[in-house]
Amino acid sequence: MPATRRHHRSLALIVNCLGVIAAVPALPAVAPRAAAAPADPAPAAAQAAPAERATPIPTGAPAAPPAVPPAKPPPAQMSAPPVTVAMTAAHTPAPGYQIQVRNDGNKVVETTVRQELPAGSKATTVTAGGRATGPAGSSTAGEVTWRLKLPAHSTTTLNTALSTAATGQSVTAPTCAYGADGTRPYDCATATWAAPAAPAAKVTAAPPVWRRPPVLLGGLAGLLVLTPGALTWWWRRRRRTGVAPAGPAATSGGAPALAGAAAGRAERGTVYPRPAMPAPTRRRRRPPMWLMVPVAAAVLAGLVGAGAWTATQRVAAIDTTKQPTSGAWMGKSVTGQVGVPLRESAFEFTVYRVACGTGSLPSTSPGGRQCLATVGVRNVTSEEQTWHGQLQRAYLPGGNWVATDEDATRVANLGRDVFAQPVAAGSRVLLPLVFSVRGTDQPKQLELRSGVFSAGVRVDVP
- Looking at residue 188, what is its pLDDT? 93
In this predicted model, what pLDDT tens digit does every residue of 311-355 receive, in sequence order? 776 666 655 455 444 445 676 788 999 999 999 988 999 999 998
Condensed to tens digits (0 to 9), the pLDDT of residues 158-215 reads 999 998 877 778 889 999 999 877 788 999 999 999 877 655 555 556 666 656 666 6
| Sign of CA pseudo-dihedral 40, 45, 46, 50 | positive
Residue 293's pLDDT band (boundaries 50, 70, 90)?
A: confident
Higher per-residue pLDDT: 78 or 45 = 78
Give me the CATH number covering residue 113: 2.60.40.740
Last residue of some domain: 171, 193, 215? Answer: 193
Measured between alpha carbons, how far is 102 from 457 in angstroms, rounded to an integer? 31
Residue 58 pLDDT: 46
Q: What is the pLDDT of residue 223?
A: 73
- Domain membership of residue 203 (yes or no) is no
- Give the chain's domain count: 2
**Which of the two residues, 138 and 317, has the higher pLDDT score?**
317
pLDDT grade, residue 5 (50/70/90)? low
Least confident of 118-132, 284-298, 318-332: 318-332
Alpha carbons 113 and 172: distance in angstroms, whole number: 16
Domain of residue 151, residue span: 83-193
For residue range 429-449, list pLDDT tens digits in order.
999 999 998 888 889 999 999
Alpha-carbon span 272 to 291, nearest angstrom = 53
Whether 64 is covered by a domain: the verdict is no
From 193, 216, 234, give the residue that closes a domain.
193
313 falls within a domain: no
Question: Residue 407: which CATH number?
Answer: 2.60.40.1240
Taking all residues of the chain, what is their mean pLDDT, rounded to a whole number? 74
Q: What is the pLDDT of residue 202?
A: 54
Average pLDDT over every residue of 446-454: 89
Confidence of residue 298 (pLDDT cuts 50, 70, 90): confident
> Residue type for 326, please?
S
- With respect to residue 262, please indicate whether it lies within any of the assigned structural domains: no
pLDDT at 405: 92
Whether 126 is in a domain gets the answer yes
Is 435 part of a structural domain of the chain? yes
Average the pLDDT over 415-435 and give the result.
90
Burial track 408-442 (b if 16+ CB lie within 10 A, e otherwise): bbbbbbeeeebbebbbbeeebbbbbbbbbbeeeeb
For residue 355, being part of any structural domain is answered with yes
**Among 131-145, 271-285, 315-329, which is the least confidently predicted range?**
315-329
In a domain, 206, yes or no: no
In order of 29, 88, 262, 270, 429, the CA distances from 273 in angstroms are 153, 115, 10, 10, 118
Q: For 234, phi and psi rounded to 5 degrees?
A: -65, -40
Which of 38-47, 164-173, 300-309 is modeled with the greatest confidence?
A: 164-173
176, 193, 210 - which closes a domain: 193
